[in-house]
Amino acid sequence: AQKITQTQPGMFVQEKEAVTLDCTYDTSDQSYGLFWYKQPSSGEMIFLIYQGSYDEQNATEGRYSLNFQKARKSANLVISASQLGDSAMYFCAMREAMEYGNKLVFGAGTILRVKS
Amino acid sequence: NAGVTQTPKFRVLKTGQSMTLLCAQDMNHEYMYWYRQDPGMGLRLIHYSVGEGTTAKGEVPDGYNVSRLKKQNFLLGLESAAPSQTSVYFCASSYSIRGEETYEQYFGPGTRLTVT
């Protein structure tokens, strides 16, 4: 079974600074995908970024980048130039193939607070 | 497009009562999922469906039943609610290209259920 570990229950960052949220994963699959989702206080799940296991380049989406280190089995999220609106819970997740379809296996999450 | 919608947004049940959560998507997606989110944990898969008329169990299916009579709707039922089912429930959907499921799951806004 796959497992996602997020070791930082909570993080603080100063507005306009960069922050890294840690994620390590455990899988024996050769093909897999890693995601980051943002959950603001309103509760919805917002997709941020995706990295496939065969992608050689780190994924980037605007201010979000995924620092993918396959040998270390880590997929850290980097948020550059933090904004107050980035305050939220952040989940790392891995796509796990089932007999039909895929499910997402989530970590426990990291709460990020951006200070002004 | 409304995307993925969930009804109701909030509900309080007494132990032993039954209810049905409705998930609807207007994106013609084949795959639909029900997850639950408990405090301090990421989302966990309850049941899923790979097409109209087909359903399968996820990792925490006990106490729940599902049906997918129409492609756009995925219903989650609690026959006899228990306090352990107090949670936030998320529905998600995804689609396939040339028979292969794409990686992104689109989430609904969630239903907050309390069982007293």
List, for residues A29-47, the tens digit of each pLDDT value.
888 899 999 999 999 999 9
- Give me the residues of B, 56-95, that contact A with CB < 8 A: 56, 58-59, 88, 90, 92, 94
Place of tokens 């509900």: B11
Q: From CA A90, how far away is CA A38, in angstroms rounded? A: 5
pLDDT band at A101 (very low <50, low <70, confident <90, very high): confident
Interface test with B, best of A104, A106, A111 (most B CBs within 10 A): A104
Chain B: nearest CA to A14, how far in angstroms? 24
CA distance A49 to B103: 11
Distance from the Cα of A78 to chain B's closest Cα (Å) equals: 20
On whether any CB of chain A is under 8 Å from the CB of B101, the answer is yes
Least confident of A16-25, A85-94, A101-110: A101-110
CA atoms of B51 and B49, how far apart (whole Å):
6
Higher pLDDT, B21 or A53: B21
The two structure tokens encoding residue B60 = 């925490």
- Bridge partners of B87? B113
Query: What's the full length of chain B, in residues?
Result: 116
Given pLDDT bands bounded at 50, 70 and 90, which one contains residue B114? Answer: very high
Contacts of A74 (CB under 8 A, 6+ apart): A22, A23, A24, A25, A67, A68
The rounded mean pLDDT for chain B is 93
Q: How confident is the model at residue A1 (pLDDT cuts 50, 70, 90)?
A: low
